């Protein structure tokens, strides 16, 4: 049994699970040791039934598979299939939202409406749609057509969202390198086709296909989803929220929203408010909706809903015995949750036809019946509270306060207070003078393998003391919130003097009596698009490529295929991306060399692998230093 120690709230629930004989991911990881070395290196192939084949990276065993595939080919095929898994998740997410939006415009989903007309007009103009004198629904229909076109066009023209959201210099480079993509679904199909037995064998060609899938993820997935979320539900604004497991309330009906799609969670939140009186009649003091994983980020960014738990805690939160219902939609849903929920009479409610779980209640959620289904789900949670009422619960007391809602629009609004005509200039000036030494974006999930090293927290603190501003999305945003890094106290405690000065000025400009936090919460995992939008604005204002900026990305606790495809997109944009643990490419000398060195000559981006948090931060600081020197600042 491997002993790991986590933060106090997480550890208290792990200890509780052990004391009552319930298995958690920590125990299951220990039971998997030692994990397959061939799998870790990526040198195993099970694509055809002559295998599975394993290539010995040390040269003592087989050097090729039955079909003749080398380690380089096998590793690169496996990597591309990981990319497809990640990009498919985000493109599927975006398509779900676009279809719901389309049904709303057709009058089939009257529960929804256009909330942010300004964002609609911005997106329409960016897509080349005429807006003057036109009805907003007619404009919106054209926006939907542009979105669906990116999933269906066959004319080899670049995707609409690439032309809209990508920097012009990068588009020109991608065209020269043959990386531009036209149809997201075609690229996904071709990637699966080319990796099937008897097709693409060239590892470099396979890696170029990885970059193309990265672009699919970034534009037909992340950017498209974020834009439609904002139009439907509103663009986030800065607000203060609570985070960590202590946000549960034993006297209320606790509904944990878990997954990614606000089309569902927004409705659950609405009906939780409408059915408050029913909850009170059942003996509760109200309905407490809390967020888990990226649905938590979506709800907190727009509605101020508490951020209860990150992905690693998604099963642990059930051990409190205080969750009456966990409502899930898609992605990051652990199969273990139904088994744990059964011990506490918690209802697990699935809502998507492709995400069903044994032991869960399934309520098929469709936009056409959104209100009816949301009402049904909230009533199931109230019924579960009646069964729980009076029973002992175990809620960790840990709770923190954070400032969230840093959409690009919200950031620009603050900067306009300092320079209305050129809002990016204050940022540029402070990058030049070193008060902001650089910027690093943190994204991804918490990994059980690294969570006890506090990888994310240590890296962030190391960067802050060196005046590097940090932006974050996804479950790393949960980690930073729980660690108290999203509030003004963290500015005083962790920042170098230059960054501290900037954040104090920005806090005053925002009309606050305190500095802005040193870590800016920009949203869910699809909202990595917001980071790219901000980088595009800075690069185009300075007339440079993104690869020339003193910026970097980090997936400090890599878990999901989605993080791999996001990271590849960022490398295609020209970013250095730190990754831990290492991706499953080390069994291929070609893949390792291309992604850590050769790619820099193609797009300006590269992968940087380091498991020690202090060394990882130091490596990113060295990278930022080199970019500053190249710019002469």
pTM: 0.96
SS3 449: helix
- The confidence score (pLDDT) of residue 42 equals 87
Q: What is the CATH number of domain 401-631?
A: 3.40.50.2030
* Mean pLDDT in residue range 537-550: 97
Q: Which residues, listed in sequence order, are joined to residue 404 by a DSSP beta bridge? A: 239
92-124 per-position pLDDT tens digit:
999 999 999 999 999 999 999 999 999 999 999
Sheet containing 551-555: which strands, arranged edge to edge?
519-523, 468-473, 438-442, 551-555, 576-579, 606-609
Residue recorded with tokens 């939006």: 101
Q: Do domains 245-388 and 401-631 have the same CATH topology?
A: yes
Average pLDDT taken over every residue of the chain: 96
By the 8 A CB rule, do 173 and 548 touch?
no
* Mean pLDDT in residue range 350-379: 97
27-58 per-position pLDDT tens digit:
898 889 888 888 888 889 999 999 899 998 77
Phi and psi at 292, nearest 5°, equal -120, 140
By the 8 A CB rule, do 589 and 72 touch?
yes
Q: End-to-end distance of the chain based on CA atoms, in angstroms?
A: 51
Query: What's the topology of domain 71-233?
Result: Substrate Binding Domain Of Dnak; Chain:A; Domain 2 (1.20.1270)
Cα gap 124→145, rounded to integer Å: 11
CA 280 to each of CA 125, 275, 283, 326, 351: distance values in angstroms, whole numbers, following the listed order: 48, 9, 5, 20, 26
- Domain locations along the chain: 71-233, 245-388, 401-631
Q: Number of helices and strands (H, E) in the chain?
A: 28, 16
- The confidence score (pLDDT) of residue 67 equals 95
Cα gap 407→405, rounded to integer Å: 6
- The confidence score (pLDDT) of residue 39 equals 86
Break the chain down into helix, strand, coil percent, rounded to 5.
55, 10, 35
Query: What's the topology of domain 245-388?
Result: Rossmann fold (3.40.50)
479-538 per-position pLDDT tens digit:
999 999 999 999 999 999 999 999 999 999 999 989 999 999 999 999 999 999 999 999
245-297 per-position pLDDT tens digit:
999 999 999 999 999 999 999 999 999 999 999 999 999 999 999 999 999 99
């Amino acid at each position: 049994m491997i002993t790991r120690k986590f933060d106090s709230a997480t550890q208290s629930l792990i200890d509780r699970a052990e004391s009552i004989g319930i298995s958690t991911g920590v125990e299951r990881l220990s039971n998997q040791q030692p994990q397959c070395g061939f799998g870790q290196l990526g040198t195993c192939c099970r694509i055809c039934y002559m295998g599975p084949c394993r290539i010995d990276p040390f040269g003592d065993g087989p050097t090729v598979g039955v079909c003749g595939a080398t380690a380089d080919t096998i590793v690169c095929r496996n990597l591309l299939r990981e990319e497809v898994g990640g990009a498919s998740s985000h493109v599927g997410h975006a398509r779900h939202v676009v279809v719901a939006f389309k049904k709303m415009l057709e009058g089939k989903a009257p529960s929804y409406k256009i909330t942010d007309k300004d964002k609609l007009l911005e997106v329409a103009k960016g897509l080349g749609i005429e807006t003057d004198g036109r009805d907003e629904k007619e404009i919106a229909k054209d926006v939907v057509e542009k979105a669906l076109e990116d999933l269906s066009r066959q004319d080899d023209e670049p995707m609409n969202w690439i032309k809209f959201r990508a920097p012009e210099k990068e588009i020109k480079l991608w065209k020269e390198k043959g990386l531009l993509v036209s149809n997201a679904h075609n690229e996904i199909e071709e990637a699966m086709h080319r990796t099937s037995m008897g097709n693409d064998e060239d590892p470099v060609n396979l890696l170029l296909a990885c970059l193309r899938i990265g672009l699919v993820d970034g534009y037909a997935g992340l950017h498209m989803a974020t834009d439609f979320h904002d139009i439907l539900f509103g663009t986030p604004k800065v607000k203060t929220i609570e985070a960590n497991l202590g946000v549960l309330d034993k006297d209320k009906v606790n509904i944990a929203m878990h997954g990614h799609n606000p089309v569902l969670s927004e409705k659950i939140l609405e009906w939780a408010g409408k059915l408050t009186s029913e909850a009170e009649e059942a003996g509760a003091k109200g309905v407490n909706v809390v967020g888990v994983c990226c649905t938590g980020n979506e709800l907190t960014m727009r509605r101020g809903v508490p951020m209860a738990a990150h992905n690693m805690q998604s099963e642990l939160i059930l051990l409190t015995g205080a969750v009456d219902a966990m409502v899930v939609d898609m992605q990051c849903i652990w199969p273990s949750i139904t088994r744990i929920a059964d011990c506490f009479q918690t209802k697990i409610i699935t809502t998507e036809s492709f995400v069903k779980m044994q032991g869960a209640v399934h309520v098929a959620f469709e936009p056409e019946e959104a209100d009816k289904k949301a009402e049904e789900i909230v009533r199931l949670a109230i019924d579960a509270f009646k069964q729980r009422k009076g029973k002992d619960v175990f809620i960790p007391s840990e709770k923190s306060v954070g400032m969230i809602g840093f959409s690009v629009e919200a950031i620009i609004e603050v900067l306009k207070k300092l320079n209305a005509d050129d809002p990016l200039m204050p940022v540029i000036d402070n990058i030049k003078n070193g008060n902001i030494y650089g910027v690093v974006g943190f994204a991804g999930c918490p990994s059980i393998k690294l969570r006890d090293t506090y990888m994310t927290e240590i890296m962030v603190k190391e960067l802050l003391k060196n005046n590097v501003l940090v932006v974050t999305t996804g479950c790393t945003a949960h980690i930073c919130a729980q660690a108290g890094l999203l509030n003004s106290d963290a500015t005083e405690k962790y920042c170098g003097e230059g960054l501290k000065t900037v954040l104090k000025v920005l806090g005053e400009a925002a009309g606050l009596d305190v500095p802005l936090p040193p870590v800016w919460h920009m949203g869910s995992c699809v909202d990595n698009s917001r980071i790219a939008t901000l980088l595009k604005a800075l690069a185009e204002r300075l007339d440079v490529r993104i690869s020339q900026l003193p910026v970097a990305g980090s997936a400090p606790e890599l878990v999901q295929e989605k993080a791999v495809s996001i990271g590849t997109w960022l490398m295609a944009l020209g970013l250095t991306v730190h990754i831990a643990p290492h991706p499953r490419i080390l069994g291929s000398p070609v893949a390792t060399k291309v992604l850590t060195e050769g790619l820099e000559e193609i797009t300006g981006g590269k992968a940087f692998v380091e498991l020690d948090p202090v060394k990882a931060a130091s490596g990113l600081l060295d990278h930022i230093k080199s970019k500053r020197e190249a710019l002469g600042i």
